[in-house]
Structure 1
Amino acid sequence: MPKRVFMHIGAPKTGSTYVQNVLFGNAERLERAGLLIPATFYAHDQAMTDLRQVPWRDPELYWTWERLLERFGRWPGDVVLTSEGFGAATAEQARRAVESLAPAEVHIVVAARDLWRTFPSMWQQSIRARSTWRFEDFLTAVEKGRFDGFWDHYTANRMFRRWGDLVPPAQRHIVTVPQPGAPQDLLWRRFAGILGIPDGICEPAEPESNPSLGAPEIEVLRRVNDALGDLYPHRLPYQRVVHHHLLRAVLQQRDNDMRFGVGLDRAEWVAALADEQIKELQDYPCHIVGDLAELRPGRMCESVSPDSLDDRQVLDAAIQTIVGMITHAESLQQQLQRPPGMLARVKRGVRRRLVS
């Protein structure tokens, strides 16, 4: 069994994609340095859905929690497990995970981001996961106490209640997400410090690996989700079709310059929530990497809501999306029509020219 296991459990929308890209992109280098990132990101993600037994998990998943543990059972060094979905586990599921890792020394790593940026990011993430609720409905549900799951799934405070109490204080780590304008690799350097990764081992990853959508684009996706009905009810089929052919191929390729966010009418509410969150974390015995003050919103300014767009704006975005999908479909058709073996011949020709 490994000496130490670092469980990076979330929260979602705290730069986890960026950190995971660095980890898995440098897995071989890290393994030579004694730190194992077992299997692939999808293995960690599937093991998370198995551990939590979520209804939207792939019914034919290969990687169970136990199978992932078997993958590194004989590793003598340190191990990192990472999925922003781990943090939403129940107290019982978290206990099962930590106990199954014994006798390894388990470290819980949680990232936290200010709520002013978290609210729109979390809502967008839910739309990307097939939800259909409006942005204002989401904010009202949180504000009125009708969506307690937000705090359970997206804040370090609640995650520590279920996960942190299972390990000694020295093995609880919270990483604060830097405010805009900070060095691009600062978040990674904070994670690397917890894991004991020296400078120079890892090649950096692109800092923006999961670009956000603008207000018209996310509203188009929300309406598409509504029109899909019961089509693609499970997460993986939805990702393979809608994410691949609509989200990544078209919507993320647009300018997305009409940003959306929480209105200034809720600024005092968000600031008060931030103060409560900071106070609770200050009182919780854990290793803080960064500055809890970064959880206080920085510059708060007025922004548009996807709900406030008129039909012409949404229609224009939808038409441009159709044009983008036509172009994407044409590209796929050209790939299918390419003669067998053509790519190999092109590669051989390039090699000959390089040699000569």
Structure 2
Amino acid sequence: MAGRVFVHIGAPKTGSTYVQNVLWNNVEKLRHAGILLPGYFAAHDEAMADLRGLSWHANPSWSWERLVAKAAGWPGDVVITNEGLGAATDAQAARAVRSLQPAEVHVLVAARDLWRTFPSMWQQSIRARGVWSFEDFIGAVEHGRFDGFWEHHTANRMLRRWGDLVPAGQRHLITVPGPGMPQDTLWRRFAGVIGIPDGICDLTVAAGANTSLGAAEVEVLRRVNRALGDRYPHRAPYQRVVQRHLVDAVLKQRTNDVRFGVGPQRAEWVLDLAEQQIKELDEYPCDVVGDLAELRPVDIDPVPPPDQLDRETVLDAAIETIIGMIDHAEQLTTLVPKPRESLRRRASRKVKRGLKKIKPVPGLQLW
């Protein structure tokens, strides 16, 4: 039976990909140190979808029960990590914690300042097949028409749903360090909660974890998603085709130098929200790793929202994307193996070559 189980539940866009890359790329080293990541990377995503009753995977191999069974059979500590877990309902979170007991269950939640979270969250929704404009997204949050943002993407409500199920000492809030901090700061905070000693994990393997797209590139993707209609309705096929061949192979490879943000007209609103968020978290009894002050936006960038891009910029990005897709398609053709010649055809060809080498003998008839 596992001694402790650390359930890392999000929130999305808080460096979870970076942390997960370090964990999974050092899975054997961690195992030797007595820390298990059950299954494999996709297994945690599939188990999360099963727990929440989602249909993102057409044919998932792992269920929540299967992941729990793997965890229960380990004598040391266990880490379960998926940023989608934080969006579980009260009942789903209770079921998850109950299923992991009698192990000592710890809940890990990461929080990031809202000024950076809003643009990142919208972009992530587009990369998950979303079609709404940034103005529609941020306007819905601002005017209270998108409560799901607070429920599914912020630490405050995640802690209430999950943290209330375990003692205060087993609730951990990790703040995402601001710009200018060493790249490994987030990992060291995360590792410190679990008790992973320094030097066990190779941190270089996590470079380039989740490259952001520029304003024009994400707008091109949004319009592609809209044009796709009901094709690729499941998450896995969409990622296998669109994410792999368009986003990863082409859009991420561009300079992505046209940045975007919330826009200066909403700066005061975001700052007020940040102060409210800090106050709520400060009043919640949990272990804070980092500093709640890091949730207060600094160096507010006046870059405009992506909806203000002119048509010519988007058109140029679309044309360059098509060129990139052509180059990508050409590279793929070089990777396709030539069809193997059938055994019968090869044997026939060898017989014909052998007959040609036979020198005719005068007066001898071969047939």
How high is the TM-score relative to the length of structure 1?
0.94
Deviation of the 1:311 alpha carbon: 1.5
Supply the AA of the counterpart residue of 1:274. Answer: A
Supply the distance in 2 between the matched residues of 1:72 and 1:161 (Cα, whole angstroms).
24
Q: Quick one: which amino acid aligns to residue 68 of structure 1?
A: L
Distance 2:83 2:41 in 1: 11
TM superposition shift of 1:207: 4.2
* SS of match in other structure, 1:166: coil
8 Å CA contact 1:278, 1:293 repeated in 2: yes
Q: CA offset at residue 72 of structure 1?
A: 2.6
Q: Could you report, residue by residue, the CA deviation over 1:187-231 in whole angstroms, capped at 9, with x for unpaired residues?
A: 000000000011110000334311000000000000000000000
Residue number in structure 1 paired with 2:40: 40
Q: Aligned letter for 2:162?
A: W
Q: Which residue of 2 aligns with 1:15?
A: 15
Q: Which amino acid aligns with 2:301?
A: C
Determine the C-alpha separation between the residues in 1 that align with 2:108 and 2:287.
9
Q: 2 CA distance for matches of 1:4 and 1:16?
A: 20
Supply the AA of the counterpart residue of 1:40. Answer: Y
Other-structure match for 2:142: 143
> Which position in structure 2 is the counterpart of 1:211?
211
**Distance of 2:301 and 2:20 partners within structure 1:** 31
- 1:52: how far off? 0.3
Change (3 A) 1:207 1:273: farther
> 1:164: Cα distance to partner?
0.3
User: What code does the residue aligned with 1:247 have?
Assistant: V
Alpha carbons 1:50, 1:57 under 8 Å: kept:
no
Look up the match of 1:107: 106
Tell me the SS of whatever aligns to 2:325.
Answer: helix
| In 2: Cα distance, 1:243 partner to 1:176 partner | 29
Counterparts of residues 154-303 of structure 1 (less than 5 Å)? 154-204=153-203, 205-303=205-303
Distance in 1 of aligned mates of 2:339 and 2:288: 57
Q: Which runs of 5+ in 1 are unaligned?
A: 341-356
Could you say which structure has the larger radius of gyration?
2
SS in 2 for 1:299: coil
**Residue identity opposite 1:116 in structure 2:** W
Answer yes or no: is the 8 Å Cα contact 1:2–1:78 preserved in 2. yes
Match for 1:31: what amino acid? R
* RMSD over equivalenced CA pairs, Å: 1.0
User: Is contact 1:132-1:222 (8 Å) kept?
Assistant: yes
Deviations 1:247-277 (A, max 9, x none): 0000000000111111111111101100000
Residue matched to 2:350: none
What does residue 326 of structure 1 align with? 326
Letter in 2 for 1:246: L
Identity %: 67
Q: How much has 1:179 moved relative to structure 2?
A: 0.3
Letter in 2 for 1:324: G
Q: Is residue 176–residue 294 contact of structure 1 (8 Å, CA) maintained in 2?
A: yes
Q: Helix, strand or coil: the match of 1:163?
A: helix
Using the size of structure 2 for normalisation, the TM-score is: 0.91
Contact 2:72–2:100, Cα closer than 8 Å, also in 1: no
**What is the CA distance between 1:58 and its match in structure 2?**
1.3
Q: What SS class does the counterpart of residue 188 from structure 1 fall into?
A: helix
Provide the rounded CA distance (Å) in 2 between the counterparts of 1:297 and 1:62.
Answer: 41
Residue 60 of structure 1 corresponds to 59
After TM superposition, give the deviation of residue 305 of structure 1 in Å.
1.9
TM-fit CA distance, 1:308: 1.0
Aligned length: 339
For residue 68 of structure 1, report the CA deviation from its aligned partner.
1.1
User: Match of 1:345?
Assistant: none
Deviations 1:91-133 (A, max 9, x none): 0000000000010000000000000000000000000111100
